[in-house]
Structure 1
Amino acid sequence: MKRRDFLKHTLPAIALPAILDGWSLNAWAKSPLLQGISAAEDNGRVLVLVQLNGGNDGLNTVIPIDLYDAYYAARTNIAIPQEKILRLNGFDQTGLNPAMTHIQHMFNEGKVSIVQAVSYPNPNFSHFRATDIWLTGSDSDKTLDSGWAGRFLNNEFPGFPAGYPNNNMTDPLAIQVGGIISPAFQGPVTSMGMAITNPSSFYALLNNVNTSSSASSRAGDQLAYIREMSMVTDKYATVIKNAAQKIKTQSSLYPAQGKNPLADQLKIVSRLIAGGLKTKVYMVNMGGFDTHARQTDAKDTTIGAHARLLERLSEAINVFMVDLQELGVADRVLGMTFSEFGRRIKSNASGGTDHGAAAPVLLFGNSVQPGIIGTNPPITAAATAKDNIAMQHDFRSLYTTVLENWFMINQAASESIMLKDFASLAIVKGVNAPST
């Protein structure tokens, strides 16, 4: 998708802003990226996507202990001391950044799966284009106007928004929690008309105040659609509020409001899931992973900017899963982190890392098949500034796995959605990897 067309399709997205615990809620009622999953068999399962904006440094996240000498030689100024690497039960050759104690605990409890070296052929190193590729599921040399899950949904909810919500689907199909809809975060979505992201607009909807005047400057055939969407989001505001009000208490482990923005977002996701929303997909995000400089503290590489990000990520995912467990809905939830790309093997002279290719993906939940899929990426002590982590797994295999093994979409439908036949991985308990 060209940037001009991308902006045209994404900026006027319809969003539902609700203010819960200080965060806005954006309901994606017709997102080709996310809608598709809702049309799968209604098994109550939920996918939570955690986007790490900027390109996470995989080598300082999941660290190759068996290749430590080469790892250290390639990035001496940011390498984690070997004795500080967190160990993983049953996987002596691989460890975690010392800031990820909560993820270490979850892994050792069997609630985390690590997929090594995830990317795609001929990776792109532009933040915008790489994000577009991840969200559409396209090849690097192709552009798509539809999202990976939305291609399935295209025939499942014809005519939206007319007739929605209805008895079969009363709730938003996907919800992004926090912030405003941006082209980088939304990916390739259809034109939704407008975004409602401030508290006053939300409460105006709750009080049945006519908000169509905000769209009056938009001309042509968009206007009727925008007005219709306003009425739909008004109904979604009610169901979201009702679901949230059903949950009176949540885990005491959550940090104070504002201390960990990702945890604040996931707290709302947990509340809405437990409150009974039928929403199938949630998306949350955290930024700051574009660590070109000062990635670690100059005197102590176990702390610094990247470590703070990984600590917040680890803390947020852990308390989210604890909360879901206490609320009795943890078995329904599968979580997945992703970033638009990884970083180079060799660090730069500014104490950071530049845009690279493959990086690990974390999946979490009670239903993941615990362990590590893939091997530590090859590293040479003589790595140059251009050397990249080689791909072991195509990111679209993860999407295929989610569709087939989590949402139970048949293989033929999955292949149609992903536009190619990608092998699924042994991520979900009770589902074996395909034979090779």
Structure 2
Amino acid sequence: MRPPLLSPAANRRDFLRLSAGSGAAALLGQLGVIGALGAGPARADASTFRAMVGVFLFGGADNWNMIVPTDTRYSAYATGRGATLALPQASLVPLPGVPFGLHPSFAPLATAWNEGALAPVLNVGTLSQPLTKAQYQASSANRPLALFSHSDQQNEWQGLRMREVNRDGFMGRANDREAATTVPDLISLGGSSLILIGNRSSPLILPSNGGLTRNGFNAGATDAPTTTRQSALTAFADGGTGTTVTGTTATSLTNNYGLAVTANAVLTGTTSIVDQYFKNTVTGVALTSDVSKQLLRVARMIEARSTLGHSRQTFFASQGGYDTHANQVDAGSTTTGTQANLYADLAQALAAFYAAMKALSLGDNVTLFTMSDFGRTFRVNANLGTDHAWGNNHLVLGGAVKNQTAFGAYPDVTLGGVQDTDTNGRWIPTTAVEEYIAPIAQWYGVAAADLPYVFPNYATWTTLPRKLLGLFG
């Protein structure tokens, strides 16, 4: 049985401190009350804790420079990317055991690879069906909706209802079926996103800086607007009689604010084990990028899993800035520029997170994976940048992944070739998002019978010869 997060005496005081100044509808959506109205019994403790952490690279990351072939395919890579964009082969971070290397900014992840905790996944993208170039060109009905559109492809990746309006996300649906709870263990550090919305689940949204506060409220204020808000929210939290919805909503709201108060202590405390790992290994100075701050808070929430009453946790984090139509690289240097800086921030954050999980003895219990709107054109444009494309490469990080293995198929990167939608290197994906993500959901604990609910197009990608990636040993 989950321990109470607040004493009865403290509930109202802390509820008011956190809630005043907010609209009820925003509170319900943000803190999971809507999902809790249909929730079943509280989750029983699992014998093994697990967490999955999705990191979305907003803007469409050019991950064709994240993972680069080092065998005979490097020549085609260098030709297609051109001298202004191709990374020198000697600059790549080697991945012993596979014919690929990482962008030099990812040097901090060499330890994870050497320890068998990092997996490259090749040429992934949104697909409603396996697709050839001829089929792509024959009809737009064969393609994802609004392909190459940022907002639409972000929703396709997160919702995975291909060629439909996405109203919920795969992480939320996974939580719907994994178990029911009135206290959300879906937690976003990357803002409000579709991916964590389920039919019975919605996330707790945490800031990447500071604690949880309500806008326009001072705990010591006695002005009329504040006291009016206090009275209204007190009445709402106290619930009522005669309707199940009212009572359930009141209980859920109080429980969720209990979690918020507990989360505040986790976010703002100074005794966390994990903090020391989120520092520059050379200078000892704390990492300052937003993605580092988000993953530090994810690590803190994982460290506090028992206090929070969580046997499973699902997190969403993000990093922006990847819409690199210009100055992706510096003139005369393909290893520096906007992309290199973004990758450096990401790599440092991922390496710190991995080290923190090991320090908690949870290296095998937490799996992190990357996502993005889409890939980018292999061909450089006139502004030292790249444009919107389709298939992309990604990384999975965690001790449970199969040792030193690359997954998926690297495409034929001939511009205008059999896997190019045009002549600019917009590669048709060879691995569907479902083939990439569903194994992570299975590892997390989603039952085989529930996978078609979590992934509506599941049958397409599990009918031979298609199959899910074997990410885990």
TM-score by length of 1: 0.76
> Could you say if the C-alpha distance between residues 30 and 119 of structure 1 is closer, same or farther in structure 2, counting changes exceeding 3 Å?
farther
Q: Secondary structure at the match of 2:406?
A: strand
Is 1:100 matched up with 2:106?
Answer: yes
For residues 265-280 of structure 1, the aligned pairs below 5 Å read 265-276=294-305, 277=308, 278=310, 279-280=312-313
Is 1:345 matched up with 2:378?
Answer: yes
* Separation in structure 1 between the aligned mates of residue 370 and residue 76 of structure 2, nearest angstrom: 27
In proportion to residue count, which structure has more helix?
Answer: 2
Contact 1:15 1:195 in 2 (8 A): no
Contact 1:14 1:229 in 2 (8 A): no
**CA positional deviation for 1:379:** 1.0
* Separation in structure 2 between the aligned mates of residue 193 and residue 348 of structure 1, nearest angstrom: 39
| Amino acid of the structure 1 residue aligned with 2:214 | S
Q: Secondary structure at the match of 2:364?
A: helix
Q: Secondary structure at the match of 1:49?
A: strand
* Separation in structure 1 between the aligned mates of residue 204 and residue 67 of structure 2, nearest angstrom: 40
In the alignment, what sits opposite 1:250?
274
> Could you say if the C-alpha distance between residues 67 and 13 of structure 1 is closer, same or farther in structure 2, counting changes exceeding 3 Å?
farther
Contact 1:12 1:195 in 2 (8 A): no
In the alignment, what sits opposite 2:122?
116
Cα deviation per residue 1:370-404 (whole Å; 9 max; x = unaligned)?
Answer: 31012322111667654312212111122321222
* Separation in structure 2 between the aligned mates of residue 212 and residue 157 of structure 1, nearest angstrom: 35
* Separation in structure 1 between the aligned mates of residue 219 and residue 177 of structure 2, nearest angstrom: 31
For residues 160-175 of structure 1, the aligned pairs below 5 Å read 164-165=182-183, 172-175=184-187
* Separation in structure 1 between the aligned mates of residue 294 and residue 194 of structure 2, nearest angstrom: 18
In the alignment, what sits opposite 2:86?
79
In the alignment, what sits opposite 2:188?
176
In the alignment, what sits opposite 1:361?
394
Cα deviation per residue 1:283-340 (whole Å; 9 max; x = unaligned)?
Answer: 1111011111110011211011001111111111111111121122222211111111
Contact 1:128 1:184 in 2 (8 A): no
CA RMSD in angstroms, aligned pairs only = 3.9
Is 1:54 matched up with 2:67?
Answer: no
Cα deviation per residue 1:16-40 (whole Å; 9 max; x = unaligned)?
Answer: 9xxxxxxxxx7556679xx99x979
* Separation in structure 1 between the aligned mates of residue 203 and residue 113 of structure 2, nearest angstrom: 42
TM-score by length of 2: 0.71
In the alignment, what sits opposite 2:69?
64
Say which of 397, 400, 403 aligns to 2:435. 397
In the alignment, what sits opposite 2:149?
126
* Separation in structure 1 between the aligned mates of residue 67 and residue 430 of structure 2, nearest angstrom: 15
Q: Secondary structure at the match of 1:135?
A: helix
Cα deviation per residue 1:160-179 (whole Å; 9 max; x = unaligned)?
Answer: 8xxx34xxxxxx2211125x
* Separation in structure 2 between the aligned mates of residue 233 and residue 330 of structure 1, nearest angstrom: 29
Unaligned runs of 5+ in 2: 1-23, 128-142, 221-225, 236-244, 280-284, 462-466
Cα deviation per residue 1:49-68 (whole Å; 9 max; x = unaligned)?
Answer: 11111111121111123322
**CA positional deviation for 1:369:** 0.9
**CA positional deviation for 1:425:** 1.7
In the alignment, what sits opposite 2:15?
none
* Separation in structure 2 between the aligned mates of residue 106 and residue 156 of structure 1, nearest angstrom: 29
Contact 2:212 2:260 in 1 (8 A): no
Quick one: percent identity of the two aligned structures?
23
Q: Secondary structure at the match of 1:271?
A: helix
In the alignment, what sits opposite 2:169?
147
Contact 2:187 2:206 in 1 (8 A): no
* Separation in structure 1 between the aligned mates of residue 56 and residue 391 of structure 2, nearest angstrom: 15
Is 1:291 matched up with 2:337?
Answer: no
Point out the structure with max Rg over C-alpha: 2
Q: Secondary structure at the match of 1:106?
A: helix
* Separation in structure 1 between the aligned mates of residue 435 and residue 468 of structure 2, nearest angstrom: 5
> Could you say if the C-alpha distance between residues 289 and 187 of structure 1 is closer, same or farther in structure 2, counting changes exceeding 3 Å?
farther
Q: Secondary structure at the match of 2:336?
A: coil
In the alignment, what sits opposite 1:262?
291
* Separation in structure 2 between the aligned mates of residue 143 and residue 337 of structure 1, nearest angstrom: 23
**CA positional deviation for 1:408:** 3.1
| Amino acid of the structure 2 residue aligned with 1:173 | D
